[in-house]
Amino acid sequence: MPDVVQTRQQVYKDKLAQQQAASASSATTAAAAKNGENTANGEENGAHTLSNHHSDMMEVDRAVEIPASKAMVLRGHESEVFICAWNPVSDLLASGSGDSTARIWNLSESSTGGSTQLVLRHCIREGGQDVPSNKDVTSLDWNSEGTLLATGSYDGFARIWTKDGNLASTLGQHKGPIFALKWNKKGNFILSAGVDKTTIIWDAHTGEAKQQFPFHSAPALDVDWQSNNTFASCSTDMCIHVCKLGQERPIKTFQGHTNEVNAIKWDPTGNLLASCSDDMTLKLWSMKQDTCVHDLQAHSKEIYTIKWSPTGPGTNNPNANLMLASASFDSTVRLWDAERGACIHTLTKHQEPVYSVAFSPDGRHLASGSFDKCVHIWNTQSGALVNSYRGTGGIFEVCWNSTGDKVGASASDGSVCVLDLRK
């Protein structure tokens, strides 16, 4: 049973230390493994395998490198930037950092000379005064209308801010760090997950806790809404619970992972739930059965996060196939056909753990961000590398804006990059 005090931040720091220690040797082994993997993997497409020739690789690299003129580096954070998220309606990019602030960057064309930043200082009351919490801001989510931003912090509070940077309400408190928080689609509830083993549904209008769900036996790491009042949660206890507002017990519990479950995501229709774990597997679950629908085993290290493509029934791209992307500490990204439970592409350009993946709004491209400081943009159909950018710090998060022409990336050195993908 892991000590609850060993929070996610410690995990980040431990893994960071391991990576730095291993990075000297890993570059050579990764290169060797990568070349072996491309030829060994039957699912690779021909074009991808050709890039084994070093000269081809160099040509590809030159062709796809994003020029500095197309990359805007936003500086202001004083510590690592764990997360970033685009406003769903406008070109506002929110970021959250270890410096106990979130920031909102205005990247719309009309904003004068580059970008303006709003600083959202996370404070606590002490002796009648507001003092900085000195705690990391590790989760962010915009409501679907793009009017409000929710932040989760290691100080145990969730906060709601207006898009002009004013604190609207403070929701508290979890007994310890918040690891994840999400608005429901309707925008009336916020869901949070904490180190205190609980998940809480908050009334966004009153700031009151509607219901607390104390079902996990260890820290809750991620949550995702299935509908406006039903959600799934996962934990270091290896369990996944599906809970509903007003119900005193989970309406479903999924067991099968043999190590902590890092992330969970419902597909666009809310039928399939994907989960990924330190046990190196990705599993797909349905409310109709107790055992997993697919148990996807291909990664050779922990899987840190997963994302569904915004394609298929019930999306803006109904004629495209539904895919799932997984990002792993084995430094690969995999694209999966969810229906068949088969790996379509293995994307093998990164040299270090991959912390984040994100699909473009049309599902045609995937961005990936790694501790090798690179952001790669891939074609999801062919698996080909389309664009690359090397930043100045390890990449924690990548995200696309609503129009699909900009990618935001947040990094371990305090920088936030915005890549302009318009030709």
Q: What is the pLDDT of residue 213?
A: 97
Contacts of 346 (CB under 8 A, 6+ apart): 37, 41, 43, 44, 298, 332, 333, 334, 383
| Same domain as 192, residue 83 | no
Range of the domain at 80: 72-148+155-171
Same domain, 163 and 255: no
Q: Which residues of 281-297 are buried (b: 16+ CB within 10 A; e: fewer)?
A: bbbbbebeeeebbbebe
Considering the domain architecture, whether residues 285 and 315 belong to the same structural domain is answered as: yes
Q: Are residues 161 and 213 in the same domain?
A: no
Instruction: Determine, yes or no, domain membership for 292.
Output: yes
Residues 317 and 241 both lie in one domain: yes
pLDDT at 110: 58
In a domain, 134, yes or no: yes
**Are 189 and 308 within one domain?**
yes
State the Cα–Cα distance between residues 391 and 91, nearest whole angstrom: 21
Q: Verify cis geometry, omega within 30 degrees of 0, for the bond prior to 297.
A: no
User: Domain tally for the chain?
Assistant: 2
Place of tokens 């430094």: 331
At residue 54, the pLDDT reads: 40
Per-block mean pLDDT, blocks of 10 residues, the chain (423 long): 43 50 42 35 36 39 78 96 97 96 88 73 79 84 98 94 95 91 98 97 96 97 98 98 98 98 98 97 97 96 98 93 97 96 97 98 98 98 96 98 97 97 86
User: What's the pLDDT at 86?
Assistant: 98
Whole-prediction pTM = 0.85
Output the pLDDT for position 378: 98
| DSSP 8-state secondary structure symbol assigned to residue 70 | G
Dist CA 356 CA 328 (whole Å)? 9
Residue 255 maps to a domain: yes
Q: Does residue 102 belong to any structural domain of this protein?
A: yes
Same domain, 102 and 212: no
The closest of 210, 181, 212, 182 to 197, measured between CA atoms, is 212
Q: Do 202 and 294 sit in the same domain of this protein?
A: yes
In a domain, 11, yes or no: no
36 falls within a domain: no
Q: Please check whether residues 127 and 213 belong to one and the same domain.
A: no
Same domain, 210 and 236: yes
For residue 49, is it within any domain? no
Q: Indicate if 141 and 205 belong to the same structural domain.
A: no
Q: What is the CATH number of the domain that holds 200?
A: 2.130.10.10
Question: What is the rounded distance in angstroms from the CA atom of residue 151 to the CA atom of residue 78?
Answer: 18
Do residues 183 and 317 both lie within one domain?
yes
Residue 30 domain-assigned (yes or no): no
Contacts of 377 (CB under 8 A, 6+ apart): 365, 366, 367, 385, 386, 387, 388, 407, 419, 421
